Copies of this chain bind each other. A is one copy, B any other.
Amino acid sequence: MKIFKYPEQKQWKKIARRPLHKAAKIEKQVRKILDRVRSKGDKALLRYAKQFDEVDISSLEVTPQEISAAHQSVSGELQSAILQAKKNIESFHLSQQENISRIETMPGVSCWRRSVAIEKVGLYIPGGTAPLFSTVLMLAIPARIAGCSEIILVTPVKKGSNTIDPAILFTASLCGIEKIFKSGGAQAIAALAYGTETIPPVQKIFGPGNQYVTIAKQLIQQEGLAIDMPAGPSEMLVIADETADPEFIAADLLSQAEHGPDSQVLLLTNDEFLLDKVGAQLESQLNKLPRKAIAIKALENSRMIVLRNIEDCLAFSNLYAPEHLILAVKDPLLLENKISSAGSVFLGHYSPESVGDYASGTNHTLPTNGFAAMYSGVSLDSFVKKISFQQLTTGGLRNIARIVEVMAEAEGLQAHKNAVTVRLNKL
Contact = CB atoms under 8 A, between A and B. Distances in A.
This chain: copies in complex: 2
Interface of A: 77-78, 81-82, 84-85, 87-89, 91-92, 95-96, 98, 101, 103, 105-106, 109, 111, 113-114, 116-119, 129-134, 167, 203-204, 218, 221-222, 224-226, 230, 245, 247-248, 251-252, 254-255, 257-259, 285, 288-291, 295, 332-333, 336-337, 339-363, 367, 369-377, 379, 381, 384-394, 396-397, 400, 402-404, 406-408, 410-423, 426
In the A-B complex, the 5 residue pairs with the smallest Cβ-Cβ separation, listed nearest first, are: A105-B361, A88-B105, A352-B419, A354-B416, A347-B391
Contacts of A390: 344-347, 351, 355-356, 360-362
Given A248-B419, A290-B414, A347-B391, A406 B78 contact: yes
Contacts of A289: 414-415, 418
Contacts of A421: 251
B105 A360 contact: yes
Given A92-B103, A258-B416, A352-B420, 19 more contacts: A81-B406, A84-B403, A85-B403, A92-B105, A130-B413, A203-B374, A224-B371, A226-B371, A247-B422, A251-B419, A251-B422, A254-B418, A285-B422, A333-B391, A344-B390, A347-B390, A355-B392, A357-B404, A358-B403
B77 A415 contact: no
A325 B245 CA distance: 58
Nearest to A387: B342
